[in-house]
Structure 1
């Protein structure tokens, strides 16, 4: 008689109401991310924060500045001239925060940390969605590794780099929407993905690379035909085309060329050596992904000198890259997670890699913000497979390895955050980590000019200005065509009351860049202060040919014509200054001029306008 087969008890399905593990993990991720960057909440404004936030008129206008933000290029609210970038979404976020919470740096830093913490949580759910058959520890480990990595400090601790966080949130929205759309056949998710893509590319142009991530995700995680993959990807191509159509109507179509000071690869004449150097820099990225030390806020000319194909760094980087290509191809047909991770890294990095075209920066830690996710997935995949966790469940060793790495990364991140507290802490550290950077030397010099401006002790002031001059001369020695360094050197000489050397430095700034209007304006101001009205007028007018809406230049010309009693011209330039920058100073200039002219009615008119601003 045959034995009855005993039925195995059917395991109880976890219902959404009782499956608390994912929510506990999500809460833990949020707290971890927030605490990790909690020491940035009271940081100040640094580097380019002036351009996009502190001195950006559109952002400082709050919600009322949103129209201008979406109808002008990125830096227009600061410089009042068009530029090559269109990134309104980040500026819009800052403007809304200004209206709701005020204009302190702490507000913007707090929001940066909140967005990052929420992004980390969203990442956990997206990775869990992609690898839905994996133990929850798998997406949790990837997320924690990504969140803790020190290469993120530049983005999270710097207000200006909010664009990277927003672009990343958009990417996550695209991946989540596309996977859910194809698994649930709900068109709402597809619309969410398209909106997320538009949000991402309005945050930063580099997010256009998501167009390559869409087919990658569909191929590896969704069982659909290539025809459907191409059709769905095409919809994102339409969004990209709409973005370009909007962008072309707003940006400067003839921007200044990228400069060697920003990207040292422009200085390399040999195309072969230029490519070799770029590949060598990729090796540095690989090294920082694994061992992120030392880190620097700046990698400008000449941090990375020219390399040839016989250089050991280039050969090592090339060998590593070839190895990654082999691993990718080897697992492509079988859709191995490692292949996905490597391709994700490559697609999101290619735009900023300087391999196929040169961009406006040599190297930057922020360029790894999104690609780093591919690295984190690869690390956890390899560790998971090496420890054979699916079969042997050797979790204690996995916990141990992951714990040590997270502890080291978190400690580095927390200490690196402190460097971004102010320009002083940033530049003082940068001079040690990137001494061969002309820009770092220049920044360090400018820092001492600022200190000297507030120093009361005459001897200390003199010492600070001497240091400034020395560092700025170092900067020029590294890169003799560094226009801004000459400009700052002139400012240092002015502070030393050395007018001849200041004028000479301004002239060299203009010689290095014939369209550099700030030096022309400053020369005009210096001549004006010394009552040399003819030379002042010449340089101020010349500055306006390159920056016709520059408020300061118009104001000084107005003051000059007022002194010369050419009141009609003074009124014209004062009004131009007011149109470019509506503020108390420019209103006061007009009010005082009309009062001097005996036009009481107009003087009262502008004085009333001043009261409206108070």
Structure 2
């Protein structure tokens, strides 16, 4: 008789090799091999029953479940198609030249997620490319409706895949009543999922598509992996396809890396017991290690290759971007001590569970002060959250033998939430409801399973035991759908979104600030008083969130303008002074933020030379505006020295704003207008006059040669440049011309003065990018400056600039080199 090792070999190769080949390989008789095959499992030539399989139903019901899921999702989200581009949608989609212009499509795959507006260490090219497909292939352009429709289609796809996944898993791994009703349990779980209100931030918010795509690809990959779990000839193609799904998911968002843990958990809980029984192994760590090693060589190797390739692609794209931590406003956790950071992250996980169970209050913002940091381990929020997480862990351990489906779904939550939990890896935000999208199936599946388990224990007719939980879960799905439809109205516009967010999170400084900004933008009478109440209510705990100070300063400036228009100069002066004090306080808080962030970055191991922490654009613009308003009030700055101090303060604030956001044309133009005004006040022979005019000219040419500058601002820059030329003693008509056909200005070719200022403006922009550590943008601009005949910068000079280091204090930045001689 064959030995135990030979029997294992025969069982492992059942269906792969003939009995004669196995006998020749093992050195035993063919009859002995056939005896083993007859004694264990089905006869040779007949495939073994698959581990994961769907229940058999009539053809008419085959797609009924999918149709019902699609109908429920369409009803719940039918009012979401009219929503505008809100929140981050403007910067990532509507104002993204990589998405909106076909010639920039290739840059989607070679630049980071937030390019070119901001810099980040995120790489999600496939998500951005779906926006490009929306814009160009589907013809949506800048209309949000088509983007909302695609999001809903992906959401429905996720619901259908979840239906098949839960049904297949329950039908294959349970017995009795639950196995018989596995299809109904899976359908109820999918209906709860597609209507759950917490998913609206991923579905109605267009940039939530990254989470939708990850969920779709992960579920598809898990289904393919389950089909290939039995081995055989089709296992390798199925495992390879599952790995392709993982690769696509990773190109959509980074948290897709959790799929490898889901695959291992699925195998260990459901596939390993069958293999162990077949091989006659015991339930030991050594047996598990042998199993995982075998699966690694036959299956997991595909996933590891994908993960390695993804890390390599990220390195190629992001290698020149310095490492960074999120800002204090977006995620305050990295700036807390270790234990306090972990405790607050646990509170956030508890809040996630609460949102899943009771999705009545939803918020689009959990940033600074929306979730106060845990100050003591006796904090009730921390204790309740820790108890809930421990209870889930205990449930997973208790169910690991008889109810392995429960264990797997509990692990699903921990695995999918781990990459975004801030416990193991710091992310860009402390929390967001869209991050819950991948974890929501755990709650929906366990809720559906619990309802059917509960009614199965009652003594009632079999039909009633099936209909009662289905009706109860259906009613819950209806309530979820109603709440989802109500939540969709919150995402209708920026004003409705931030109004709802402020009401849900009144302690969120960002929510209050953005709500006040939208009220200001609306321009309705009475909004100023409401803005003032909202901002003054949060400014006491705004900390170093300088944007709130900037918005409040804008409100005071509006009050001052209203008073001035009414002839109440004293009131106007008081409001302008209050705006100036508020902006100055905000700048001081912003300096504290910069120092705190720099100290934290160094503690986390970053090189000081790689740290870039600039001043905030908003607060410095508000400070400059307030200083100029005070200087213009008669009697407020009667002495010339005081007025000059205010002008100097505005000059400095404008420079900080320009360096913080070089791509924002308005700061360059307003800086130049201040310089022109100061030059007009000086005598012709004053050396400061020429310096002001030269800096103004360079500041005006910068927005003219920057592609994203809007037409109105570009015209404003040209008009001020003509005025600057006149004050410098050059004829604007000779150096600048205004074609009447198109109504656009341009530089007159062949004028050395024009070339001088253009070259200085280009060099100034390169230096600003270098000062902000945007080395890729600086190099790209340098290549353009050398190759473009309009600029014709010498390569040696560009190399010199790219090899230098620059800061706010360097006068070269503002003149594009050494200041011109007067």
Which TM-score tier does this pair reach, normalised by the shorter chain?
0.7 to 0.9
Moved more, 573-582 or 474-483: 573-582
Shift of 1:528: 7.6
Counterparts of 1:599 and 1:243 in 2: how far apart (Å)?
56
Aligned to 2:377: 309
Q: What pairs with 1:114-263 in structure 2 (closer than 5 Å)?
A: 114-133=153-172, 134=179, 135-183=182-230, 185-222=234-271, 225-231=291-297, 232-251=299-318, 253-254=321-322, 257-263=325-331
Does residue 513 of structure 1 match 2:590? yes
8 Å CA contact 1:338–1:382 kept in 2: the answer is no
Does residue 31 of structure 1 match 2:108? no
8 Å CA contact 1:173–1:192 kept in 2: the answer is no
Shift of 1:20: 2.8
Q: What pairs with 1:75-114 in structure 2 (closer than 5 Å)?
A: 75-77=114-116, 79=117, 81-99=118-136, 100-114=139-153
8 Å CA contact 1:197–1:210 kept in 2: the answer is yes
CA distance 1:392–1:311, shift in 2 (3 Å): farther
Within the candidate set 366, 377, 394, 1:299 is matched to 366
Counterparts of 1:221 and 1:602 in 2: how far apart (Å)?
77
Shift of 1:143: 0.8
Shift of 1:467: 2.1
Aligned to 1:326: 394
Counterparts of 1:15 and 1:342 in 2: how far apart (Å)?
24
Which protein has greater RCO, CA pairs closer than 8 Å, 6+ apart? 1
Counterparts of 1:171 and 1:434 in 2: how far apart (Å)?
32
Does residue 408 of structure 1 match 2:479? yes
Within the candidate set 352, 358, 361, 2:429 is matched to 361
Which consecutive unaligned segments of at least 5 residues does structure 2 have?
1-53, 173-178, 276-290, 562-574, 592-613, 633-643, 680-689, 726-730, 747-822
Counterparts of 1:338 and 1:15 in 2: how far apart (Å)?
20
Within the candidate set 426, 448, 460, 2:497 is matched to 426
8 Å CA contact 2:85–2:94 kept in 1: the answer is yes
Q: What pairs with 1:367-378 in structure 2 (closer than 5 Å)?
A: 367-378=435-446
Aligned to 2:652: 538
Moved more, 174-183 or 21-30: 174-183
Aligned to 1:10: none
Counterparts of 1:610 and 1:165 in 2: how far apart (Å)?
46
Aligned to 1:342: 410
Q: What pairs with 1:492-571 in structure 2 (closer than 5 Å)?
A: 492-496=555-559, 497=561, 498-514=575-591, 515-519=614-618, 520-521=620-621, 523=623, 535-557=649-671, 566=693, 570=697
Shift of 1:337: 0.4
Counterparts of 2:300 and 2:585 in 1: how far apart (Å)?
51
Moved more, 121-130 or 260-269: 260-269
After superposition, the C-alpha distances for 1:258-305 in whole angstroms (9 at most, x for unaligned) are 344334545755x44443343333333222222222222223332333
Does residue 69 of structure 1 match 2:116? no
Counterparts of 1:360 and 1:346 in 2: how far apart (Å)?
19
Moved more, 345-354 or 333-342: 333-342
Moved more, 402-411 or 31-40: 402-411
After superposition, the C-alpha distances for 1:433-464 in whole angstroms (9 at most, x for unaligned) are 22222222222222221122xx3xxxx2xx32
8 Å CA contact 2:737–2:745 kept in 1: the answer is no
Counterparts of 1:70 and 1:528 in 2: how far apart (Å)?
45
What is the Cα-based RMSD across aligned positions, in Å? 3.6
Does residue 284 of structure 1 match 2:361? no
8 Å CA contact 1:65–1:95 kept in 2: the answer is no
Within the candidate set 491, 496, 517, 1:446 is matched to 517
Shift of 1:119: 2.3
Instruction: Please state whether the residue corresponding to 2:547 is helix, strand or coil.
Output: helix
8 Å CA contact 2:111–2:123 kept in 1: the answer is yes
Shift of 1:376: 1.8
Counterparts of 2:417 and 2:555 in 1: how far apart (Å)?
40
Moved more, 187-196 or 135-144: 187-196
CA distance 1:275–1:362, shift in 2 (3 Å): same
After superposition, the C-alpha distances for 1:417-438 in whole angstroms (9 at most, x for unaligned) are 2222222222333333222222
Which consecutive unaligned segments of at least 5 residues does structure 1 have?
1-13
Aligned to 2:711: 584
After superposition, the C-alpha distances for 1:90-131 in whole angstroms (9 at most, x for unaligned) are 222222212212212222222222221232223323334444
Shift of 1:590: 7.1
Counterparts of 1:196 and 1:243 in 2: how far apart (Å)?
13
After superposition, the C-alpha distances for 1:140-178 in whole angstroms (9 at most, x for unaligned) are 122112112111122212122222112212212321232
Instruction: Please state whether the residue corresponding to 2:377 is helix, strand or coil.
Output: coil
8 Å CA contact 2:715–2:744 kept in 1: the answer is no
8 Å CA contact 1:194–1:239 kept in 2: the answer is yes
Relative to the length of structure 2, the TM-score reads: 0.64
Shift of 1:373: 0.8
Moved more, 181-190 or 470-479: 181-190
Counterparts of 2:323 and 2:626 in 1: how far apart (Å)?
28
Q: How many residue pairs are counted as aligned between the two chains?
A: 586
CA distance 1:217–1:543, shift in 2 (3 Å): same
Shift of 1:346: 0.5
Within the candidate set 50, 57, 70, 2:97 is matched to 57
Shift of 1:72: 2.4
CA distance 1:272–1:149, shift in 2 (3 Å): same
CA distance 1:274–1:539, shift in 2 (3 Å): closer
8 Å CA contact 1:517–1:543 kept in 2: the answer is yes
Counterparts of 1:408 and 1:108 in 2: how far apart (Å)?
26
CA distance 1:577–1:190, shift in 2 (3 Å): farther
Aligned to 1:48: 88
Moved more, 170-179 or 31-40: 170-179
Aligned to 2:538: 475
8 Å CA contact 2:718–2:745 kept in 1: the answer is no
Instruction: Please state whether the residue corresponding to 2:399 is helix, strand or coil.
Output: helix
Counterparts of 2:519 and 2:157 in 1: how far apart (Å)?
38
Shift of 1:485: 0.8
Counterparts of 2:407 and 2:741 in 1: how far apart (Å)?
67
Aligned to 2:23: none
Instruction: Please state whether the residue corresponding to 1:492 is helix, strand or coil.
Output: helix
8 Å CA contact 1:157–1:420 kept in 2: the answer is yes
Shift of 1:610: 8.9
